[in-house]
Structure 1
Amino acid sequence: MATTAHSAARSGGMRLHVQRFGTFLSNMVLPNIGAFIAWGLITALFIETGWITLIGDKLGYTGGYGFVEDLGAWGSGVDGAGIVGPMITYLLPLLIGYTGGRMMYDDNIRGGVVGAIATMGAITGASVPMFLGAMVMGPLAGWSMKKLDALWSHKIRPGFEMLVNNFSAGIWGGFLAIVGFVIAGPFVEAFSTLASNLVDTLVDNGLLPLTSIFIEPAKILFLNNAINQGILTPLGTTEAQEAGKSILFLLEANPGPGLGLLLAFALFGKGVAKASAPGAIIIQFLGGIHEIYFPYVLMKPKLVVAVILGGMTGVATNVVFNSGLRSPASPGSIIAVWAAAPPSSLVGVTASVLLAAAVSFIVAAFLLKLDKSDDGDLATATADMEARKGKKSSIASALVGTGAATGNGPIRSIVFACDAGMGSSAMGASVLRKKVHGAGFTDVTVVNKAISNLTDSYDLVVTHEDLTERAEQRTGSARHVSVANFMDSPRYDEIVELLRETNGGAGSGAGTAATAAGTDRPATGDQGGELLSPDSIVLDGTGSTRDAAITEAGELLVAAGAVDPGYVQAMHDREQSVSTYMGNLLAIPHGTNEAKPAIRHTAISFVRYPQGIDWKGKEVKFVIAVAGAGDDHLKLLGKIAEVFVDREQVARLEAARTPADVLAVLRAMQPA
């Protein structure tokens, strides 16, 4: 029994590692799928066998196709000049390398730039598209650049930061480009050739349909990303470059097997499964979200036979028709499949979807009719799917009518997210935490994070209205609340009412005093002494515009030795992205997430404008610039937040005559 348990644990651990690796690969590819689709559409329209010439020939057009020929580089195949060849040779791999480098450097653009430089070496060192090379060199460059920067962090003499940063990135990027050219390019080309020969062997011997035996179960176990993004997409893109299409794009993305399974449940299922299947069909077939049918298979595992046989039928049909897609179909919607299909493959691709659905339907219906047991627990199967996925499913509510997306489940964790996670979100979280805990929900945690660091593990996400869409991409299963005013937004009261509805009355009070006070984050230094010194307080600001105020407050941080001069520009960049107006006459400008390396130590500055300035249509009298290297400024920001929701305290700040008066107001407040 011990041996069996050990083997099961080892198997589960291996599956988890493969799943994480697949997610890692997909995180490099999926953000750039739009570029793949653009390349596929341009190819479909402008190459010699594309839609424009096909329609022109059908209409009897006998003139020249000069503009179309130039774009598609006729006479050179799809790997010629024009726009088609350079996009697949340079643009797509560079995007992947940039994304991988940035991802490995904590979403820092610096990692992305070095990743793109290193990828360029691999591109020029091989004669095939370097997607696999980009997936290696991009992350390697971002990770290594991060480690190198850490060696001399905070050790550079003032005034030399830009020189060191630029030259270190250039030198290391150039070195990695050479490594990519000499080693990565030839190695990946050899691997691609070997893998292509293996695929050709499977096709020549009629064995390619057997890949569905592995791919369909892998999808249900969420291992498909490693196969699809790591192998099928790179090899398929190389094949599409040479032949104008590839069957490999349809091995995993064909929506037919899932469609047939769901149709069988809609007609022959029972209970919740039967009732939810029609809605699931729309999500799966038109929306392309295949995971919607995974719980149906997990509920009755023998139905995996249906999707395997359906997948094999779809692959065999494409082999017979010699059909394929020009680019990946992501998501796996019939709309995306048709959009990526060249004219010569439309019939074959459509037939592969229909026949795959038919076989999957017949087998699933037969098994369901033979099954005399109850319908099974779809809710439990959905929970099992989420466990295998490693996070909540944003479409689970379509199956069982519950989950985060429906707004029915209890709320235990709230995150306030902003672009950098060092200012706006910290103060917003402090105000919201006080309201939530004041209403008795002390067991509900309220924290703040940068959007780039969000994970899909929170019940409720609060963001500025300009950032909600970005937050939804990272936390699809959470409820989302958008605010325009951080200090006294009416949405905070709505959140408290939502807690009463979902959590049942007041909170349990189980949270500790430390949690209620937000002390789960460390805070060091004298609150208002070290972080906000009297020299960084100006009571009569000279700026008359928003930009001038940002510069004035930022230069106080520079004068205090807290930031490099370049941080001030990052404050302006942040303001162009999302306003740092907080409400109640307050703005807290701060740098972007990418500018954190420019912060030497945590500090804030305080500038008062007695006459007020216009801040994108809002009146601001207090500008507090923030530079947060760690978390030690969060307590002080919590105090500031309490001050600015209290009109009496704001009046004291308006009447302050010395920096000591300002510090006295902040010190008088209790930690948030």
Structure 2
Amino acid sequence: MAQSNIKVGVQKFGNFLSSMVMPNIGAFIAWGLITALFIEKGFFPNEELAKLVGPMVTYLLPLLIGYTGGKLVHDQRGAVVGAIATMGVIVGADIPMFLGAMIVGPLGGYVIKKFDQLIDGKIKTGFEMLVNNFSAGILGGVLAILAFLGISPAVDAFTQALIVGVDWLVGAGLLPLTSILIEPAKILFLNNAINHGILSPIGAEQIRTTGQSVLLLLEANPGPGLGVLLAYWFFGRGTAKQSAPGAAVIHFIGGIHEIYFPYVLMRPMLIIATILGGMSGVFTLVLLGGGLQAVASPGSILAILAATPGNAGSYIANIAGVLVATVVSFIVSAFILKTGKQTEDLDEATRKMQEMKGKKSSVAGSIVTNKSALPQGVNKIVFACDAGMGSSAMGASLLRKKVKEAGLDIFVTNTAISNIPSDAQIVITQEELTPRAQNKIPEAYHISVDNFLSSPEYDKLINKLKDDSSAEGRTPEVEEVVESSQEDDSLLREENIFLNQEFNNKEEAIRFAGEVLVKGGYVEESYIEAMIERDNMTSTYMGNDVAIPHGTEEAKKNVLKSGFTVLQVPNGVDFDGEKVRLIFGIAGKDGTHLEILSGIAVTCSDMDNIEKMVQAKSAKELKAIIQGELN
């Protein structure tokens, strides 16, 4: 049990490190291309353009890693503090601080996250921006100083020790033994930490002095994985045999190494084949003097050839290193596949690999999720819609109330799909938006609903969360959601409430709502077309005879200030086959509309309130029903 927990912990750690690097691979490629092209021994030596190489590897890449690491922990504020702290390790060292950035970036995010939790609900209205900006600046500055004085020298010393160790391995002819660690590390998703955290900085130093480094091929060599896939192609069975050729192309040409991981997991003994293939490839590279003059990321044969020094000897050495690794891995894999009992369940092996990364895929009823069970220790639920200002805000308000009533310590928020935070554990969207949300953050538990106002999935989710909380024996500490009860007449005004309206179709109704917002000075006229576009993309029907038309995410720039219009349509108007009797036209800016929207959501979740609003005889009466939830 303890070994299993350690394995899971290592896998999660590896996945987190990978998440810091993968979004920034484009920057590594840019640095690699500029290096390969313009350094003294590059394809087109250019002293002026080569000046880009040093600053990119010294500042740009570590800052991006630190920024991303901080963002993974605490979104934008974490990213900013993580980047500030990363400057400390950069300036305090003489080598590229990729590993240092992997340490202080998340540390910066964690520190500002804890600070925000400490002061939550304690800042007086009007001082939020002041506190937010100064806290990020002060904490970031302190961490940068600490990183400069302490973390940077420690990481520098550690890296220098590794350099000595690598030099010793090269001198003793033992560098191939590194494959014993590197090849299994790929399966545990630690390859980015090893490759970009350790090998790349050392390799960059070697490139600076000798023009190339064999270290950059230790992890990037596609030969070991290619050998496994070719063996399955010739000697495998069933789905594994049929899919292996396509996987081999993706792996070798596309550089996506993780595609061969499920094939290894089907027969764990194949890890021996990858290790022996890796060792043989490294031995060949050392023997023939191979190496790269820039990082090959991803590990595609095309990237390797592009980063190879422009001489025949280097090309021969690098190609030979890949071929030898492939042949050895193929021979050993073929022997294992021919002599042992084969498992043909590629889907099960893929599932195991996705579990390592916290990703699954299943469909059950109206819940669409890529996890088969709720994640443990849920503390953040995100509602997402296209623009993040309407339907998701209403859904978040309803669930937040249920979470509070259940005594659960879980933060519930809303956002646009494009801005879903990386630490979201549960993501709730309308059914047609779920695939987009899954593509944005595949590691989360996804729930799709067709009615944000009265979906039964809310209660199902709350019950599951309560069961998990009880099973873990936790005593919830409920985070109080402080909502002002002060009425804001500038947002919900009686002159913007229209009774007894009749519309021929939904577009006519949406245009009417948009024109009210324009006349009220809430939006620019172009916002009306954005409201039509938004409803065409995904219906703004919310359930319970309610629709909330609003603009697209791109149209937020056309919002001058937050405002609402309410249209009472007693006879209803058709919204994609659904009868709508209440229409709330929304313009939201900087979240100032969310409080009233929350009240509207809670009010509209009860059909009795819907009937009261539909039958209201005056704007004042209808407004009072909504305001009842705000007071």
Identify if the C-alpha distance between structure 1 residues 90 and 25 changes in structure 2 by more than 3 Å, giving closer, same or farther: same
In structure 1, distance between residues paired with 2:520 and 2:38: 47
**Aligned pair partner of 1:538 in 493, 498, 520:** 493
Shift of 1:183: 1.8
What pairs with 1:626-645 in structure 2 (closer than 5 Å)?
A: 627=591, 636-637=600-601, 639-640=603-604
The answer as to whether partners of 1:218 and 1:224 remain within 8 angstroms in 2 is yes
**Aligned pair partner of 2:48 in 67, 70, 79:** 70
Structure 2 residue matching 1:364: 3-state secondary structure: helix
TM-score for the superposition, normalised by structure 1: 0.66
**Aligned pair partner of 2:65 in 79, 96, 117:** 96
- 1:608 paired with 2:608, answer no
Structure 2 residue matching 1:417: 3-state secondary structure: strand
What pairs with 1:51-450 in structure 2 (closer than 5 Å)?
A: 51-53=43-45, 68-72=46-50, 82-104=51-73, 106-108=74-76, 110-344=77-311, 345-371=314-340, 373=341, 376-392=344-360, 412-413=367-368, 417-418=384-385, 423-427=390-394, 450=415
Which residue does 1:492 correspond to in 2? none
**Aligned pair partner of 2:21 in 24, 29, 40:** 29
**Aligned pair partner of 1:452 in 407, 420, 445:** 420
How big is each residue's C-alpha offset from its partner over 1:384-420, in whole Å with a ceiling of 9 and x where there is no partner? Answer: 333444422xxxxxxxxxx65xxx8866346862489
- 1:549 paired with 2:504, answer no
In structure 1, distance between residues paired with 2:226 and 2:269: 17
In structure 2, distance between residues paired with 1:19 and 1:520: 25
> Given residue 297 of structure 2, which amino acid in structure 1 is its aligned partner?
S
Which residue does 1:49 correspond to in 2? 41
Shift of 1:87: 1.1
The answer as to whether partners of 2:14 and 2:193 remain within 8 angstroms in 1 is yes
Which residue does 1:507 correspond to in 2? none
Identify if the C-alpha distance between structure 1 residues 550 and 179 changes in structure 2 by more than 3 Å, giving closer, same or farther: farther
In structure 2, distance between residues paired with 1:187 and 1:214: 23
In structure 2, distance between residues paired with 1:157 and 1:591: 30
Identify if the C-alpha distance between structure 1 residues 267 and 449 changes in structure 2 by more than 3 Å, giving closer, same or farther: farther
The answer as to whether partners of 1:539 and 1:657 remain within 8 angstroms in 2 is yes
How big is each residue's C-alpha offset from its partner over 1:101-135, in whole Å with a ceiling of 9 and x where there is no partner? Answer: 2222x212x22222222221222222111222222
Note the residue ranges of structure 2 that are not aligned, 5 or more in a row.
370-381, 399-411, 467-477, 497-514, 525-529, 542-546, 555-560, 568-582
TM-score for the superposition, normalised by structure 2: 0.70
Greater alpha carbon shift after TM alignment, 304-313 vs 193-202: 304-313
In structure 1, distance between residues paired with 2:435 and 2:396: 16
Identify if the C-alpha distance between structure 1 residues 636 and 332 changes in structure 2 by more than 3 Å, giving closer, same or farther: farther
Structure 1 residue matching 2:218: 3-state secondary structure: helix
In structure 2, distance between residues paired with 1:463 and 1:265: 38
Note the residue ranges of structure 1 that are not aligned, 5 or more in a row.
1-8, 54-67, 73-81, 393-402, 432-446, 489-495, 497-510, 552-573, 593-603, 611-619
**Aligned pair partner of 1:17 in 9, 23, 26:** 9
What pairs with 1:495-510 in structure 2 (closer than 5 Å)?
A: none
In structure 2, distance between residues paired with 1:101 and 1:250: 29
Identify if the C-alpha distance between structure 1 residues 15 and 245 changes in structure 2 by more than 3 Å, giving closer, same or farther: farther
Identify if the C-alpha distance between structure 1 residues 271 and 664 changes in structure 2 by more than 3 Å, giving closer, same or farther: same
- 1:39 paired with 2:31, answer yes
Structure 1 residue matching 2:219: 3-state secondary structure: helix
How big is each residue's C-alpha offset from its partner over 1:283-305, in whole Å with a ceiling of 9 and x where there is no partner? Answer: 32223232322232232333222
Structure 1 residue matching 2:145: 3-state secondary structure: helix
In structure 1, distance between residues paired with 2:461 and 2:599: 13
Shift of 1:83: 1.3
> Given residue 586 of structure 2, which amino acid in structure 1 is its aligned partner?
V
Structure 2 residue matching 1:319: 3-state secondary structure: helix
Identify if the C-alpha distance between structure 1 residues 362 and 514 changes in structure 2 by more than 3 Å, giving closer, same or farther: closer
In structure 1, distance between residues paired with 2:94 and 2:461: 60
The answer as to whether partners of 2:491 and 2:593 remain within 8 angstroms in 1 is no
In structure 2, distance between residues paired with 1:449 and 1:352: 50
Identify if the C-alpha distance between structure 1 residues 582 and 238 changes in structure 2 by more than 3 Å, giving closer, same or farther: farther
Identify if the C-alpha distance between structure 1 residues 15 and 346 changes in structure 2 by more than 3 Å, giving closer, same or farther: same
Shift of 1:208: 1.0
Greater alpha carbon shift after TM alignment, 28-37 vs 179-188: 179-188
Which residue does 2:557 correspond to in 1? none
In structure 1, distance between residues paired with 2:295 and 2:442: 25
What pairs with 1:507-518 in structure 2 (closer than 5 Å)?
A: 514-515=459-460
In structure 1, distance between residues paired with 2:309 and 2:49: 17
RMSD: 4.9
Which residue does 1:661 correspond to in 2? 622
Greater alpha carbon shift after TM alignment, 36-45 vs 146-155: 146-155
Structure 2 residue matching 1:156: 3-state secondary structure: coil
In structure 2, distance between residues paired with 1:308 and 1:512: 47
Identical-residue share of aligned pairs (%): 45
The answer as to whether partners of 1:290 and 1:332 remain within 8 angstroms in 2 is yes
> Given residue 270 of structure 1, which amino acid in structure 2 is its aligned partner?
R
Shift of 1:533: 6.7
In structure 1, distance between residues paired with 2:141 and 2:30: 30
In structure 2, distance between residues paired with 1:385 and 1:631: 42
The answer as to whether partners of 2:25 and 2:298 remain within 8 angstroms in 1 is no
The answer as to whether partners of 2:200 and 2:216 remain within 8 angstroms in 1 is yes
Shift of 1:196: 0.9
Which residue does 2:509 correspond to in 1? none
**Aligned pair partner of 1:622 in 585, 588, 603:** 585
In structure 1, distance between residues paired with 2:522 and 2:388: 21
Shift of 1:581: 9.9
In structure 2, distance between residues paired with 1:43 and 1:228: 18
Structure 2 residue matching 1:69: 3-state secondary structure: coil
Which residue does 1:6 correspond to in 2? none
The answer as to whether partners of 2:85 and 2:105 remain within 8 angstroms in 1 is yes
